[in-house]
Copies of this chain bind each other. A is one copy, B any other.
Amino acid sequence: MKGKVFLLGAGPGAPDLLTLRAAEILKRADIVFYDALVHPQTLALASRAEKIPVGKRCGSRSTAQQFINKRLVDAARRHEVVVRLKGGDPMLFGRAQEEIDALRRAGIGFEVVPGVTAATAAAAELGVSLTRRGLSRHVAFVTPRTGQGERKNDWAASVLAADTAVIYMGAGLAEEICAELIRRGKSRATPIALVESATLPGKRVFHGTLTDLSKLARKAGDGPAVVLLGEVLRAALAEPVLAEKIEAILRRA
């Protein structure tokens, strides 16, 4: 008897931003391999499952991908419902392909359940649409992170071409991002927002322009963060700047 592996997107953080389908599958799960950033309440839905952390956290030690692949295959030979629970959406910066390929090679059935990705959750938090008629008709989701021995990753080309850009796993590389984009002609005055721990109680939003990126990244904590860039942010940016000016005036008065 062989089981099936479900690659589930856990969504951007808040446990109620899970899909109904993912919740149902978790309830039926025999074993769950979960990422570090998955919410405890989400994990708790898998009430009858053995739960195994294989957490990857940017910059911290993680279970090697090949070992995760092997464990998924082994688990599917022993259990009916095997869940691989990933933050956000499995198909965006989730390394799902390596697991899918391993499952295909082993002849094990799988199903991917999409989830809400951090970019649109951050946009929801900001109240700023990533697209906007007359202003933004294309959006790039990029990461400047490149693994050892990987081919050149020209993430900046995508940011420069797009009307709006969202940078994943970039807060720790703020200085390099800022320098590279300005060197290649992106305006220093490009509005940006850094959204940390989107949809969680500890969420924080920082507004500024491209030159402020390092400063904003230092202000932020070590929660997962995305950086948004583009003219769509200008209206949202205007409001906090105004609020700051009013506060400054009140302090002087």
Interface residues of A (CB under 8 A from B): 9, 11-12, 14-21, 23-24, 89-98, 100-101, 104, 110, 112-117, 120-121, 123-125, 127-135, 137-147, 149-151, 153-155, 157-163, 232, 235
Query: Which of B16, B140, B150 is the one whose CB lies under 8 Å from A24?
Result: B16
| Chain B, residue nearest A152 (CB) | B137
- Residues from chain B with a CB closer than 8 A to the CB of A95 are 129, 133
* 20 intermolecular pairs with C-beta atoms under 8 Å apart: A9-B120, A16-B21, A17-B20, A89-B116, A91-B120, A91-B128, A92-B129, A92-B139, A97-B132, A100-B129, A112-B124, A115-B120, A116-B116, A133-B147, A137-B150, A138-B143, A138-B153, A138-B154, A138-B155, A158-B158
Contact A114 B110 (CB under 8 A): no
B127 touches A100 (CB 8 A): yes
The residue in chain B whose Cβ has the minimal distance to the Cβ of A7 is B124
* Bound complex: CA A42 to CA B242 (Å): 40
Partner of A116, one of B114, B127, B159: B114
Cβ-neighbour of A129 out of B11, B15, B94, B158 (below 8 A): B94
Nearest CB on B from A120, distance (A):
4
Chain B contacts of A146 at CB under 8 A? 137
Please measure, in the bound complex, the distance between the C-alpha atom of A133 and the C-alpha atom of B147, giving whole angstroms: 7
**What's the nearest-Cβ distance from chain B to residue A110, in Å?**
7
- Cross-interface CB contact of A91 among B9, B24, B124, B162, cutoff 8 Å: B124
> Closest CB of chain B to A108's CB: distance in Å?
12
| A155 neighbours in B (Cβ, 8 Å) | 137-138
